[in-house]
Amino acid sequence: MKIATWNVNSLKVRLPHLLDWLAATQTDVVCLQETKLEDGKFPRDEIEAAGYQVAYSGQKTYNGVAIVSRSPLSDIQAGIPGFADEQKRVLAASIDGIRVICVYIPNGQSLDSDKYVYKLAWLKALNVWLQDELARHPKLALLGDYNIAPEDRDVHDPAAWAGNVLVSQPEREQFRALLGLGLTDAFRRFEQPEQSFSWWDYRAAGFRRNLGLRIDHILLSDELDTACTAVEIDMAPRKLERPSDHTPVVATLTTP
DNA sequence: ATGGCGGCTCGCAGCCGA
């Protein structure tokens, strides 16, 4: 089973890329972020015609998450229970006995922004909810755009990024707190190339010069971690015409 | 060099992303 995360930065624009990629890679589950589509405008028919089922929670202009799956999705939950949030950033579903949680964690904008306060509060609420989810679902995968580069090796130029959002100490502590719940950063369980990133700025030829960040992650509970045989960043979609600024991260599991 | 690109909108300029 291949399970992936991909911030598509507008599904309206990237739908052809998604459908081509699913056909080429035979991915079983992909969590999407930044669909930027109201639910009434979601391209359900096109995705179903490709042999997938889909759950989504979206809004106009910003945010929006979806889970695309070959197998049926059940027990679908949008948002973090008990955490009032108009921004559509969370979607959970059970697929083949696995609890799949798709997250688009807030960016934070800058360390002195109200959006940074929101980001940290959001991460705290996610942590509290995940304690419940993990207790109920021993096979749990948390995939998405975390907007956090966990370590300096996940940043092309740590000195240039120092003092910025995505790399600040409080954000990294929140990331480690998620690991403290019993989750593993699956990417780092395997040998990886140096300078491995999942996002590159559109500007300044960021991708060509590999000036990127690793901010898209797949965290697995212990039961899934032992079933994970590989994690890879798939650079192919980032090389296409009119790409998303993120590229997919893919985990291979031996189950089911 | 805080710009740069690319997405969005009751658009034609400004906001936001990371």
Which nucleotide across the nucleic acid strands is nearest to A105, CA versus C1'?
Answer: B18
The reply to whether the CB atom of residue A204 sits less than 7 A from any atom in nucleic acid chain B is yes
Q: Give the mean pLDDT of A232-253.
A: 97
Q: What is the pLDDT of residues A85-101, one digit of tens each?
A: 999 999 999 999 999 99
The reply to whether the CB atom of residue A163 sits less than 7 A from any atom in nucleic acid chain B is no
Report the percent of chain A where pLDDT is more than 70.
100
Average pLDDT taken over every residue of chain A: 97
Cα of first residue to Cα of last residue in chain A, in angstroms, is 7
Tell me the CA–C1' distance in angstroms for A255 and B2.
47
The reply to whether the CB atom of residue A109 sits less than 7 A from any atom in nucleic acid chain B is yes
Q: What is the pLDDT of residues A96-123, one digit of tens each?
A: 999 999 999 999 999 999 999 999 999 9
Residue A255 confidence (pLDDT): 75
Strand B, nucleotides < 7 Å from a protein CB: these are 2-10, 16-18
Answer yes or no: is pLDDT of A170 > 70: yes
Give the catalytic positions of A in this structure.
104, 145
Tokens of A195: 């300078």
Residue A155 confidence (pLDDT): 97
Tell me the CA–C1' distance in angstroms for A113 and B15.
15
Task: Give CA angle at A226 (A187, A253), nearest 5°.
Answer: 70
Q: What is the pLDDT of residues A15-34, one digit of tens each?
A: 999 999 999 999 999 999 99
The reply to whether the CB atom of residue A165 sits less than 7 A from any atom in nucleic acid chain B is yes
Query: Model's pTM, two decimal places?
Result: 0.97
The reply to whether the CB atom of residue A216 sits less than 7 A from any atom in nucleic acid chain B is no
Answer yes or no: is pLDDT of A256 > 80: no
